[in-house]
């Protein structure tokens, strides 16, 4: 926990989950500070306040008195916001949490945007925002200087209206964009590409990893997926669901569960199953979740995972370690976890320590596929 000083006071803020990330990493950045400094007073705003991509709730907590709507594609970000509201004794009901595909309130008075890592997500959010904002809406965005490019500013200009930037401050920069009367642009549909060697077409919403092609880690993993599983096979951190989709045919007696913390990932997985294997939808489950929180111990026959090694802009393995612990708890005795990972990551040692065993099923110059088997029941 660290102290965040902002124009209206100070807040105790954690990254999320608390205690899991590097203590040197804080739950806000210079872009948050810059937005709050530039934020107009409440009396100058005549409609709802919208906040986009507030990673750990710093903006939501600082502006809780305005009852903002917080729009994010990350369930973890929503959990972080609730956690930081609670530890500052701020009412949770003062904030409305929305995912990036949910309808927004009309006629916002103030919009604050943290520039997301994915330009496609920003484009989707600006198109959705354009449908509800008007000439009385004040729009401020901010991000690190290195993340604001001509293409970033072009999106604001093309979709919203005249756009300018501020001087840099602590390596962050503000973007001012004013609503202009113009013919609305059509929002881009989900990206789509054919999955080679199959009849499938894969659809990806804006914030899904490797949205324009099969990522090379998943490609290497496909020949090593479990086969002939009876029971629940879970695709943990499923992204667009391509691993679970391919596991369906090889496991006709299994129920396939798709889990991710991204709302767009789960929406993409559901779309890919309904478009490519609609007859198998009854044996599929889709869930936005923080790992396997709330899932019963000793309940799953197999788990497959292509774990991330970053959170927001920070490189970290704490999310992967959390996934491995959840998998260990939820697998049945004799159940197995299979992962694909970059070879330089120390996952073999971590899995062997956690499960008591680990086997390399395959490897190339960049990736390794590992399998660990649960040997005893949870106590």
Quick one: pLDDT at residue 24? 63
How far, in Å, CA of 249 to CA of 123, rounded?
35
Asked which of 107-121, 173-187, 329-343 is least confident by mean pLDDT, the reply is 173-187
What is the pLDDT confidence band of residue 317, given thresholds at 50, 70 and 90?
A: confident
Instruction: Please identify which residue in the block is written with the tokens 């200009």.
Output: 157
Query: What is the 3 state secondary structure string of 184-249?
Result: CCCCCCCEEEECCCCCCEEEECCCCCCCCCCCHHHHHHHHHCCCCCCEEEEEECCCCCHHHHHHHH
Residue 86 has pLDDT above 90, yes or no: yes
At 319-337, the pLDDT tens digits run 899 999 999 999 999 999 9
Report pTM: 0.94
Cα 106 to chain centroid, rounded: 25
Quick one: pLDDT at residue 311? 43
What is the pLDDT confidence band of residue 379, given thresholds at 50, 70 and 90?
A: low
Quick one: pLDDT at residue 184? 75
Query: Which of the two residues, 73 and 182, has the higher pLDDT score?
Result: 73
Quick one: pLDDT at residue 275? 97
At 352-368, the pLDDT tens digits run 999 999 999 999 999 99
Mean pLDDT of 261-275: 97
List the structure tokens of 261. 């913390």
How far, in Å, CA of 205 to CA of 95, rounded?
26
Buried b (16+ CB within 10 A) or exposed e, 10-31: ebebbbbbeeebeeeebbbbbb
Residue 315 has pLDDT above 50, yes or no: no
Buried b (16+ CB within 10 A) or exposed e, 307-346: bbeebbeeebbbbbebbbebbbbbbbeebbbbbbbeeebe
């Amino acid at each position: 926990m660290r102290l965040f000083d902002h124009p209206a006071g100070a807040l105790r803020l954690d990254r999320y989950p608390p205690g899991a990330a590097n203590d040197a990493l804080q739950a806000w950045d210079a872009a948050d500070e810059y937005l709050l400094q530039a934020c107009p007073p409440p009396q100058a705003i005549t409609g709802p306040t919208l906040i986009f991509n507030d990673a750990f709730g710093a903006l939501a907590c600082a502006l809780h008195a305005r009852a903002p709507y917080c729009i994010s594609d990350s369930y973890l970000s929503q959990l972080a916001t609730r956690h930081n509201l609670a530890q500052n004794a701020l009412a949770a009901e003062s904030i409305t949490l929305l995912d990036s595909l949910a309808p927004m309130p009309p006629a916002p008075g103030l919009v604050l945007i943290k520039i997301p890592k994915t330009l496609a997500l920003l484009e989707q959010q600006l198109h959705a925002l354009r449908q509800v904002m008007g000439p009385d809406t004040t729009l401020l965005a901010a991000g690190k200087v290195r993340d604001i490019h001509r293409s970033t500013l072009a999106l604001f200009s093309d979709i919203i209206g005249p756009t300018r930037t501020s001087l840099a401050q602590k390596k962050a920069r503000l973007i001012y964009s004013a609503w202009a009367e113009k013919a609305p642009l059509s929002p881009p549909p989900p990206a789509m590409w054919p999955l080679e060697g199959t009849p499938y077409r894969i659809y990806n919403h804006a914030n899904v990893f490797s949205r324009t092609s099969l990522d090379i880690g998943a490609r290497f993993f496909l020949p090593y997926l479990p086969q002939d599983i009876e029971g629940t096979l879970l695709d943990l951190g499923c992204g667009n669901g391509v691993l679970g989709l391919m596991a369906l045919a090889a496991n006709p007696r299994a129920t396939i569960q798709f889990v991710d913390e991204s709302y767009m990932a789960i929406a993409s997985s559901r779309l890919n199953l309904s478009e490519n294997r609609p007859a198998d939808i009854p044996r599929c489950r889709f869930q936005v979740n923080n790992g396997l929180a709330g899932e019963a111990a000793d309940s799953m026959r197999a788990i497959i995972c292509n774990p991330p090694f970053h959170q927001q802009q920070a490189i970290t393995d704490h999310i992967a370690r959390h996934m491995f612990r959840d998998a260990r708890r939820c697998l049945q005795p004799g159940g197995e976890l299979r992962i694909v990972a970059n070879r330089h990551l120390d996952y073999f040692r971590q899995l062997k320590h956690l499960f008591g065993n680990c086997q390399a099923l395959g490897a190339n110059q960049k990736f390794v596929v590992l399998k660990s088997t649960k040997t005893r029941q949870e106590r």
